[in-house]
Amino acid sequence: MNILGIGRALPQQVVTNQQLEQILDTSDEWIASRTGIRERRVMEGQHLTGLALQAAQEALADAGIKGQEIDLILVATTMGDYLFPSLACLIMEDLGASCPAMDLHAACTGFLYGLQTADAFLKSGKARHVLLVGAEAITRLANWTDRSTCVLFGDGAGAVVLGTSEREDLLGIHLNAQTDSRLLYSLSPAGNNPFTKGHDDPSQGLVMVGQDVFRFAVGQSEKDLKTVAEAAGIPMDQVDWVLLHQANRRILDTVRRRLGIDPRRMPDNIHRTGNTSAASIPLLLWELYHSGRLLPGHILALSAFGAGLTSGACLLRWGKQPPSELIPADDLFEQPVQNP
């Protein structure tokens, strides 16, 4: 499997911590020091379908591939604009594609689950090109009266076009799941069936036991990265870039310290994006690629974790030259938060 192209789309509306101070008992100081987040994008007057489509179109153009050449569309998402049809079906026509299409739900680990699924289609010969999009409007699920959760999330979409060549670039991948709906969940709509009584109330939105999720994320990410590096026979100090799911900068810092990773090899954009769930890793990868620092032959380690509980990590070799127009990205390497 090789990454042939990459695209992204972000909502126009920026919501800063200062804006949150106006509606919640919170402060920029608290949010920034506990999470690293300073602002996030929130969809307004837009649909997730439009964001996913825009990211996908950019990825196809970057790959030099036409929609008709896509054999499978996968969208990793927690919830599209519709419960059905899938987001993948909704973007297909505008891409000019005609192929199997489905959404894949593994919460914040969705992009890694998507990579593994795409790889299986490619390796089995069922597909020559797969479009994988991570697209989330997770702020729709947040409970905007709960200051301990709503400040964390943002919306966005990132996409990659995947194909094959003689050189295999997926050097290893490892996925996990375990049943635990207590730590992080959001109930689906109850509907108005008069014959079904006593269903749980979904109006509480997204619910999270923050410190337990924090512990899970740190421990699992460290374990997954070690597992995948060991299986591939590539020590972590030979990995050029480590991209973690952008959930909390204190999670990033703790994993970085435990694995002895140089901060200059671990970019983050959480201060601008917040936690965008399945879109988080492709959004960060897009920024690294457009910074011009990601070069052909570089090895990337990706690691994600989220509701389920799910987690996963992979090692990838990058094969693309930097794009012709670069976007300066010095703030991808901000100073870690103190006192994690």
Tell me the per-residue interface mask from 172 to 211 with ligand COA, x by CB under 6 A, - otherwise.
------------------------------------x-xx
Token duo for residue 165: 């060549």
Q: Give me the amino acid identity at 2.
A: N
Residue 285 CB, nearest distance to ligand COA (Å)? 17
Tell me the per-residue interface mask from 298 to 337 with ligand COA, x by CB under 6 A, - otherwise.
-------xx-------------------------------
42 DSSP 8-state letter: -
Nearest Cα to Cα of residue 157 among 98, 113, 92, 111: 111
Q: Which of 18, 148, 165, 188 binds ligand COA (CB under 6 A)?
A: 148
By beta carbon distance, the residue nearest ligand COA is: 210
User: Catalytic amino acids?
Assistant: 108, 245, 275
By C-beta, is 17 or 54 nearer to ligand COA? 17
By C-beta, is 32 or 234 nearer to ligand COA? 32
Residue 274 CB, nearest distance to ligand COA (Å)? 10
By C-beta, is 49 or 254 nearer to ligand COA? 254
153 DSSP 8-state letter: B
Q: Looking only at residues 241 through 260 of this chain, which bind ligand COA when binding is defined by CB under 6 A?
A: 247-248
Nearest Cα to Cα of residue 289 among 1, 7, 2: 7
67 DSSP 8-state letter: G
Q: Which of 217, 225, 242, 299 binds ligand COA (CB under 6 A)?
A: 217
Q: Which of 56, 213, 313, 315 binds ligand COA (CB under 6 A)?
A: 213
Tell me the per-residue interface mask from 3 to 32 with ligand COA, x by CB under 6 A, - otherwise.
-----------------------x---xx-
Token duo for residue 154: 């943002």
By C-beta, is 63 or 208 nearer to ligand COA? 208
Judge contact between 285 and 158, C-beta under 8 A.
yes
By C-beta, is 14 or 337 nearer to ligand COA? 337
- How far apart (Å, rounded) are the C-alpha atoms in residues 142 and 156? 15
- How far apart (Å, rounded) are the C-alpha atoms in residues 161 and 193? 42
Q: Which of 105, 214, 234, 292 binds ligand COA (CB under 6 A)?
A: 214
Token duo for residue 79: 């919830």
- How far apart (Å, rounded) are the C-alpha atoms in residues 116 and 109? 11
Nearest Cα to Cα of residue 207 among 124, 254, 150: 150
Element (H, E) at 182: none
Interface with ligand COA (CB under 6 A), residue total 20
- For residue 222, what are the β-bridge partners? none
Residue 323 CB, nearest distance to ligand COA (Å)? 29
By C-beta, is 219 or 322 nearer to ligand COA? 219
Token duo for residue 320: 């693309």
Give whole-number Cα distances, 172 to 33, 84, 95, 99, 238, in Å.
Answer: 34, 33, 30, 27, 14
Q: Looking only at residues 46 through 105 of this chain, which bind ligand COA when binding is defined by CB under 6 A?
A: none
The 3-state DSSP class for residue 99 equals coil
What residues line the site for ligand COA (CB under 6 A)? 26, 30-31, 34-35, 108, 147-148, 151, 208, 210-211, 213-214, 217, 247-248, 275, 305-306
